[in-house]
Structure 1
Amino acid sequence: MVANRSLALVLCLLIAGCAGSEKSKKTEAAAMPAPKIIQANLDEYEPRVREAIKGSHFELERRENVLVVTAPVLGTFNPDRPHMLLPVTLGPISRVAKLVESDKSIGVLVLGHADSSGAAELNRELSHERARAFTAIFRLSGLRQDRLLVKGVGSDMPRAANDSAAGRALNRRVEIILTSQDTLQALLAKYSQPALPSGEVLAKRAADVDQAK
């Protein structure tokens, strides 16, 4: 009799645990915006960001559920002080920052990139400092820290091969990635994965661009 009661108690606990787990999964799913909602938001946001950077040397790219503003190091940072922004860049950055600050649903991940010249650790540090120069403008515009993440990835994610001056120039950049705030931490985790060999990175990047078309 006692054994039967114990078995019944265990079964009840297991059923309650499963129900709680299912409820938790449903709650998490409800908290995440549907892909169609994110796409609709970006459809509306894209022309506004494009207008904000109009006339600058920044580039805007749509990648799946994010918008990416790319600032090449050349023409953005002081050649004599490699992590100091040039005055000409402050206008477009500030306009993007003001646009984002007024929309509480948007989060920002700023990624600094370097080429493969020199020591990897120094490149990572420099890329992080350059990314922080951008985040400083966003914070001055009033963007809260919980909506703003920063990371320097060094030479781990090249746009082009590092075997030419032109390729290395493409790889030295800062990317401002605009996404739903609910997906911000997941996006950071994606860019925190171990580095792939440069050939695999370029192949994956090409596949991502093809998917976004």
Structure 2
Amino acid sequence: MPRNLSEDEVSLFRERLCEVATRLFAERGLDAVPMRQLAVELGVSPMTPYRYFRDKDDILAAVRTRGFNKFAEALEKARASVRDPVLIGDAVCNAYLDFAFANPHIYKLIFDVNQPTRHEYPELMAAEQRARDTMSAWVKDQIEAGLIVGDPEEIGYIMWASTHGLVMLELAGKLPKGSARSLKKAALRLMEAGCRPRGSMPHTTKRSTARK
């Protein structure tokens, strides 16, 4: 009979299982990774994962919840590190790209996987919403500063679609390494030019201080 585990032991094993699942799901695809394979990778009995998760979908939800929160934390930190609204777009977009290329397995699982049961997991829904909010918060900063005009949610979605597309193309080898970052800068400039208040001058001051 299995012994009772402490909360720390449960948390540590869940974290280990999620790390293994993240890698295998991204490398092989969800359908090619049964629960038994996760147990083999962890060196435990086939039934052990079921002590911590109901099924594979439950594991996927936990993996994606962690991924969305880590992604959101990275973007929130970047936004908080910059006071000048002129530079916020660069900082947040750079943080987005840094996260995507440093964590390709996590990135693909949070943005390139369809999970029909996601609505059954409140923590996943909250983490996903948090991540989406971070992708338009910097746009609201620029609007409030009078640098651009428009719907922050709409602009945020456009920039998200552009950045995501560039990331996936580079991860797939369809773009040379580093292209996503340079093309992102061009996309950001085009967005800012198109959303600039009528009659205003381009806000290029201090732009050179942002990391390229």
Alignment TM-score, normalising by the size of structure 1: 0.26
Bigger fraction of residues in strand: 1
Bigger fraction of residues in helix: 2
Alignment TM-score, normalising by the size of structure 2: 0.26
